[in-house]
Structure 1
Amino acid sequence: MRKDAHRHVVIDVETTGLSPGYGDRVIEIGAVAVDNGEIVAEFGSLVRVPKNIPRHVSRIHGITNDMLADQPLPDEVYPALRAFVGGSVLVAHNARFDLAFLRHEFGRLGYRFDNRSVCTLALARRRLPQLPDHRLETVYRHLFGALPEGGRRHRALDDARLTARVWGELKW
């Protein structure tokens, strides 16, 4: 895996639930590579897993079981994601959640996933304590005003793009 001091990968996942320990799985991955403050590449994929998406969870991200029917399996998606990420530092909003799921998914395939990481949620809590909450959309609106047109909330690639902008603003 390559190491590049200027390249970070901002990552987000959508899942079937809240805990890989209870059998929940990643069903969508979005990642953007940021080099010297600019998005230089993107990776996004739905992931077909043998786990139904509960209706209440589907209402959050809009991903349905039918949408996953013809999507790639984990053993197709994770090697490609691994190549995309390389040795880059990972950035995520609530990194503990996203990375726990990704470590679990990579572990199922016999891969290690131990890249260093930065959490924009923790960063926002430190830098913006006055906010009523530190959800990604709240922080983004505080920093930039309205959310971008055409973006889909709680979809992995769109959330990774938002997180990249938030991180770019908060890291200094």
Structure 2
Amino acid sequence: MAILEIKKYPDEVLKGKAESVTEINGDLQKLIDDMIETMYKSNGIGLAAPQVGVSKRLIVVDTSIREENQSLIVLINPEIKLSEGDILSEEGCLSLPGFITRLKRKEKVYVTGLDRKGNPIEIEATGLLSRALQHEIDHLDGILIIDRISPLKRELFRRKYSKSKK
């Protein structure tokens, strides 16, 4: 297993829509293992393949450090089928280090996809797991948390980010 480089804003791979996974093979299993190790090493609760430079519809999520009865989830080609309610909470992102904002997300989601062996999986999630799944699936569609904030806050972020790069 290897620690992968987490791509940071404004890397182009973070902006595009990821491709569906069409083959579950040894290369994909290695990517899954490397993503899990990278997520844990980075103290994250979720990671999407585009965040490590791979434009594939693959996410790993583990909210067990903050929620009881949760464990590692690997989802291939995840889709949100149903969602309900709204909840406002703080959110950060490994691809936007140091940036935290309050975002409205759906309180409850029903997600389908495949597990790492290719078996169908269905997840009904609330709380932090719901938020993490929505966040990581956003990455698969090229959406970052800064795309979900007001234009004014986004502009302030970009200015601060530009100054930090100089």
Q: TM-score, normalised by structure 2?
A: 0.28
Q: Which has the higher strand share?
A: 2
Structure with higher RCO (Cα < 8 A, 6+ apart) = 1
Q: Which has the higher helix share?
A: 1
